[in-house]
Structures are given as C-alpha cells and as structure tokens.
Amino acid sequence: MKRIYIQEEYCIGCRLCEIYCQVKHSKSKKIIKTFKEEKSDIIPRLIVEEIGYNSFAIQCRHCQDAPCVEACISGAMQKNKNTGAVVCDENKCVGCWSCIMACPYGVIKRDISEKKVASKCDLCIDEEVPVCVKNCPNEALKFMEKDTDERNKVKVKNEG
Amino acid sequence: MALKLNQSEFKIERDLSKCISCQVCVRQCSNDVHEYDRDSDVIYSDSSKCVGCHRCESLCPTDALKIKERESQFRINHNWTEEHLRNIYRQADSGGVLLTGMGCNKPYTIYWDRILFNASQVTNPSIDPLREPMEIKTFIGRKPDNLEFEMASGSNNNAAKLKTKLYPQMELSMPIIFSAMSYGSISLNACKSLAEAASESGTYCNTGEGGLHKDLYKYAGNTIVQVASGRYGVDVDYLNKGAAVEIKIGQGAKPGIGGHLPGEKVSRDISDTRMIPEGTDAISPAPHHDIYSIEDLAQLIYALKEATDWSKPVGVKVAAVHNIAPIASGIVRAGADFISIDGMRGGTGAAPQVIRDNVGIPIELAIASVDERLREEGIRHRASVIAAGSIRSSADVVKAIALGADAVYIGTAALVAMGCHLCQKCYTGKCNWGIATQDPYLTKRLNPEIGTRRLVNLLKGWSLEIKEMLGGVGINAIESLRGNREHLRGVGLTDREFKILGIKHAGEAW
C-alpha cells in the first residue's frame, strides 16, 4: 500500500500540514471559514514534533499488524483490507482510549469536541494524495508505494 | 540608541479578515518580524526588521500577507535621494563599511535591453527546431591553430584521419554553466542542487573558492574547481577531481576586493572542505600574493596544468574592468584555455556596497571589446570566453554569444530558480530561503531534490528558447552564432556605444 514517508531533514516546521489536515477534516473544507468559525472543533490528525532545529510531521503509520486494532474493545478500529488504511469508525468508537495507550507512535488523539472518539489519520482516502503531503512546501512528506531509498527501508521495517 | 533616523523600508499589510493566526509567518521569518500574541490571538508584525524576502508572503496559506515597498519617508530630492540618506544614517550609526549582497541594482544602462536579435524572412529560410536538428553543444578550451589530416592508407582509401592533437575541452550540452558560488557562501543543499542539476543537464557547475565537499565528489566530473587567492580546499586531489580548473582573480561584484567568510560560519563541515581550522575567519586576500604580473599568472597556469597532467583546461576568471581587453589578451598569452569575464552586475554573497555599485564595467561592453581585441591579435581561438554578470534570460545568452562569448555563467538566475527573492541580505547569513545561510534551521528549507528539479527545468526551458531563436535566424548550430554581430541591432545607444559593441543601429542594413 501507499504510505506517507517522512524526510525529516527537509521538514521546515511550518506546520502547513497540520493546517491543511484541519481544513480537510472540517465541515466547510474552506480554510478561512474553518479557522475563523470552526477552529476549536478540529484537531489536526498528525503531530509536528520539534526539538531545536529538528522537526518532522508524524501521522498514523497504518501498521501491518496494528496494535490499535488489536487493542480496540468495540471493533471501531479496523484495517481496511482494500486500502490498507487503519481507520476508526467513529460511530462504533466508545472513547475508551485503549488505542491511544497501544499506539507505539503516539499519533492517535482524543477528540472530545462532541462524542468522545479517537481521532487519527485516515490517509485522506478520498483524495489522490493526502492533503498533508500535497501541501508540504518542501516535499518533506512523501506518499508512495515503496521506497527504494535504503535509509527509508529501515523505517518500513520498523513499522512491522 | 533611541534616536532612529531610518524607518522601515517595507510595509507589511496583513488582511485580518483572511489571517487565521496559523503562525506560519512567525515560524518562517528568521528576522523575527512576526510575533503571535496568545491573549488576543493576533499576529503583530514589526516592519522595521523586514528585509523584503517575501518568504512569509509565499508561504501564507490564505494570502493574507502583502509585503510592499514603503513610500519614502524623506522629502523628495533628486540629488540627495532616499538611498543616500539611508546610507548616511546607517553609517553615522555604525561607523562601518556598508555591506550588501547580490549584484549591482543601480540603473546603469542594461545593454541587453537595447539590443535586438534578428530573424530570417524570404531571403533565407528559418528552421523549426522541433523538426530539424539543432546543435547547441559547446566546447570550452583552447582550439588548435590549424588542423592537419592524413589519409589512411589501406583498403579504406578515402578515410581521412585527424593528425592534429586536440587540446583538452569541456563539453557542454548547452552554452550555460552555473557560476562560482562557494560552499560557505551558499548552503550545502544549494551546492548539491547546482551540482546535481549540472550533471543531469550535461553542463558544469563551479565550486567557487570554498573547496569541494565530500558529498559532491560524485558530481566532480561536472565541476569546475576554482583556485582563488585564499587557496581554500586546494590540493592535488581537488585539482584532479574537477573537469577544469579556474584561477579566480576577480569577481564582477567586487573587483579588486577579497573575500571574508566570518568564523561563525566556518562549521566543522566547512572547515573540512576549506581545509582550515573550525571557527576561524576565511579571508581571501584581494590579490593572489604569487601573482603580481602576467608572467606570474603564466607560472600558476602552467603549474596547475602540470599538476593535472595537462588533462584539463585551465582558465582564469577576472572582473570586467576598464582595460579588460588588454588584460584578456595577456591572460590568453599566459596560457589560459578559457577566460571568464564577470561584469559589474554579477552577484556576490557579500561586498561593500560602494564597490558593488561603482566599480567595473557592464559585461556586454566587455565581451564585445575582448572578442574584438582577441580577433585582431589572432588569438581568439586560443581561449574560450565565458561571460558572466547578470544573464537574466535565454535572450541574454543568445545576445552574449552573438557578441562574441562562447558560453555564459549564470549565478543569480540559478539562485532565483531555487527561490531567491533578491533581498540582498546574503551577508547576514539569515537567508529565509535556505540558500545563503549555514544555519541548520534555515538550510533545511532548500530540499535539493526540488532545487535540482527547478534548475534542470530552467536549463531545459532556456535551451529550447535558444534553439527557437537560432532557428529563427536560420542557424542550426550555436557555433555559427558566435561573434555573429550581424544578427544584432541596437536601439537608443550613442555612436560610441555602437562602435564598442560592434553592432549596427536598428534600421541599418547591409
């Protein structure tokens, strides 16, 4: 499956990925309206980690054997067999946060704006390329099938 | 100091109906112009710190920011212009030499814009480069005085064989080379982009005087290695790695002036590459202290040829100055295989403003007079001429070659392709575009993959345009354009300028 790969050496910490993620998961899908009227409701589904000049944006790795899927008590968290994306069915989610505790990457967040649900990257399944990747001004995020780059291969292995 | 006589140069307009306080501008500005106020959820901007690099404007996701020139705060005076007043105020504050970056921005005549190129009509056919072969391959190096052939004996009766031994050449797929920009003056990511784009496009880049970083060894076959007055990074391996060696005497932006890379910028990596201790100032003396005459230059040229086993062209780079024609003649006679001439509008990472804006001559006049002089003396074939100093478009390339250059160097145009907005603050080391800086927070901003792609595109676009222009005048090889001033006409110049450029006025025919 296509995954999002991180080139942390080119992450410039601008956080445009977060902003566009919020817009994508807003009601209006319009950037100004999202922030002027809906902002408090929307959590970016990725995290920009930053220490000194090092930064990178991390979102769900959509693991092969996802610990969050195993941990889910309600069957809300499922790995889609067709797309490979690990997606939380918010109707089934009971907000027990088991997935949050199980996730080794810390990329699932609590969304308590309405009903308590786990909020995570859905890989923008309806888009050709996830919006965080599409809007990264420095191509620090890459959406691709398989990486030929040795350095990134190690990362794929780590993801299990 | 409380007394502040200079006000901001720029006006920052933030459209609050569009600003979403996402703070991208805050994070992107290395000059700390923008500041987020959490209490009021508003971003305040201090325009006095703005350098006008337009980074924030470019990255603003809602188009809420506009950086504009501020209207003059000074009383209009055509003699004591705003620039003079600002500079005097700055110097009265600091007592120092005013520094600047990039090339001269004064409104001297730009001859490129006064020269028009020809096209074929009726009497000779034009050529469509998309349908017919068009050669823009260029060779840089000394050409033989004459060619001798011998007829091969044996069965193949008519086969002629070249008897003359040819001099080493650089083979360029197009007459454009990336000019000398050192690692130190620009970031390693910028150097990587240039080197990779040069290899991909079949042309060359120039190390500048900063040595060759080990990550760039793989591109060494497409690199001209420079030997400058500071001798940074020069050893026999360095000389032998490059495709050609260039002795740098001067630079268009600062003729007669050396260089100074402050110690703060000399990181571990730069110190290794330049072969100097970490944290020490890298000072390039104004002259080469072993070159005080043409004879001394000849010695260095031949020493470098000897060190590289006579396997590669050795050239000399000089700034275009008043007596450039006899200087060029001397350089060719000293044994240089190519001569690079950098016009007064050539760029720099740091130069005294007074030098940048007042010293040297425009490259257009320099090419014309050098080509003329070398032809008169019958030595034009002994060295290729590379023109530099503000080549802004493919049209400038074509005009430069028609005036008599073999190829051109592009520096500023390449940086602009990578994102440079010509804010002229290279010397501060705070380049927001990740080009003229060594700060790891800023250098990340130039992803060499993107930089390479954009440079390759630029070269591709220009070479297509060059072919179109050549086709238009019915020429199918760039060789036939070189020094072909009959294809140029000028507008709005004086008789003397026409004489120096060696071209006719528009409207004049055979």
Interchain pair B20, A16: CB under 8 A: no
Do residues A29 and A23 make contact, with C-beta atoms less than 8 angstroms apart? Answer: yes
Given this model, what pLDDT does residue A82 score?
Answer: 87
Picking from B20, B441, B450, the nearest residue to A31 by CB comes out as B20
- Return the residue in A11, A12, A132 with the most chain B beta carbons within 10 A, the one to mutate for interface testing: A12
Neighbours of B143 (CB within 10 A): 17
Give the nearest chain B residue to A137 (CA atoms).
B59
Name every chain B residue with its beta carbon within 8 A of the beta carbon of A139: 447, 449-450
Tell me the C-alpha distance between A124 and B496, whole Å. 67
Interchain pair B450, A32: CB under 8 A: no
Q: What is the DSSP string of B243-299?
A: SEEEEE---TTSTT--EEE-GGG--HHHHHHHTS-TT--EEE-SS-TT-SSHHHHHH
User: How does strand B160-162 pair with strand B149-151?
Assistant: antiparallel
Picking from A10, A14, A39, the nearest residue to B24 by CB comes out as A14
Domain with CATH 3.30.70.20 in chain B: 11-100
Picking from A7, A9, A14, the nearest residue to B27 by CB comes out as A14
What is the least distance, in Å, from the CA of B93 to any CA of chain A? 33
* DSSP state letter for B221: G
What is the least distance, in Å, from the CA of B23 to any CA of chain A? 8
Given this model, what pLDDT does residue B154 score?
Answer: 66
Tell me the C-alpha distance between A125 and A84, whole Å. 10
Do residues B147 and B132 make contact, with C-beta atoms less than 8 angstroms apart? Answer: no
Nearest to B193 by CA among B467, B389, B433, B390: B433
Amino acid at B21: S
Interchain pair B447, A10: CB under 8 A: yes
Q: Using the predicted structure, report yes or no on whether residue A157 has a pLDDT greater than 50.
A: no
Name every chain B residue with its beta carbon within 8 A of the beta carbon of A137: 59
Given this model, what pLDDT does residue B161 score?
Answer: 86
The kind and range of the H/E element at A16 are helix A16-24
Picking from A14, A32, A52, the nearest residue to B59 by CB comes out as A14
Going from the N-terminus, what domains does chain A have, and what CATH number goes with each? 1-59+121-160 (3.30.70), 65-120 (3.30.70.20)
What is the least distance, in Å, from the CA of A28 to any CA of chain B? 15
Q: Using the predicted structure, report yes or no on whether residue A112 has a pLDDT greater than 90.
A: no
Q: What is the mean pLDDT of residues A46-63?
A: 93
Given this model, what pLDDT does residue B428 score?
Answer: 94
Domain with CATH 3.20.20.70 in chain B: 170-505
Nearest to B209 by CA among B226, B185, B224, B190: B226
Give the nearest chain B residue to A35 (CA atoms).
B20
Do residues A99 and A88 make contact, with C-beta atoms less than 8 angstroms apart? Answer: yes
* DSSP state letter for B47: G
Interchain pair B447, A35: CB under 8 A: no
Average pLDDT, chain A: 88
Question: pLDDT tens-digit profile of A62-78?
Answer: 998 999 999 999 999 99
- The residues with which B477 forms a beta bridge, in sequence order, are B135
Taking CA atoms, A11 is separated from A5, A119, A141, B67, B432, in Å, by 12, 23, 8, 25, 14
Note the CATH number of domain B11-100. Answer: 3.30.70.20
pTM: 0.94
* DSSP state letter for B67: E
* DSSP state letter for B308: T
What is the least distance, in Å, from the CA of B146 to any CA of chain A? 51
Picking from B28, B61, B440, the nearest residue to A19 by CB comes out as B61
Nearest to B34 by CA among B49, B24, B22, B44: B44
CA angle B254, B68, B87 (to 5 degrees): 40
Taking CA atoms, A88 is separated from A113, A143, B144, in Å, by 16, 21, 75
Q: What is the mean pLDDT of residues A105-133?
A: 91
Per-residue pLDDT of chain B (510 residues; tens, 9 = 90+): 578 888 899 999 999 999 999 999 999 999 999 999 999 999 999 999 999 999 999 999 999 999 999 988 889 999 999 999 999 999 999 999 999 999 999 999 999 999 999 999 998 999 999 999 999 999 999 999 999 998 777 666 677 889 999 999 999 999 999 999 999 999 999 999 999 999 999 999 999 999 999 999 999 999 999 999 999 999 999 999 999 999 999 999 999 999 888 898 899 999 999 999 999 999 999 999 999 999 999 999 999 999 999 999 999 999 999 999 999 999 999 999 999 999 999 999 999 999 999 999 999 999 999 999 999 999 999 999 999 999 999 999 999 999 999 999 999 999 999 999 999 999 999 999 999 999 999 999 999 999 999 999 999 999 999 999 999 999 999 999 999 999 999 999 999 999 999 999 999 998
Interchain pair B22, A19: CB under 8 A: yes
Name every chain B residue with its beta carbon within 8 A of the beta carbon of A39: 20
Interchain pair B24, A15: CB under 8 A: yes
Do residues A103 and A45 make contact, with C-beta atoms less than 8 angstroms apart? Answer: no
Give the nearest chain B residue to A10 (CA atoms).
B444
Interchain pair A13, B27: CB under 8 A: yes
Joined together, the tokens standing for residue B410 give 């592009």
User: How does strand B176-178 pair with strand B205-206?
Assistant: unpaired
Name every chain A residue with its beta carbon within 8 A of the beta carbon of B441: 13, 52-53
Name every chain A residue with its beta carbon within 8 A of the beta carbon of B27: 13-15
What is the least distance, in Å, from the CA of A89 to any CA of chain B? 29
Burial label for B327, CB within 10 Å (0-12, 13-18, 19+), is buried
Name every chain B residue with its beta carbon within 8 A of the beta carbon of A135: 61
Note the CATH number of domain B170-505. Answer: 3.20.20.70
Give the count of Cβ contacts less than 8 A between chain A and B: 56
Given this model, what pLDDT does residue B3 score?
Answer: 84
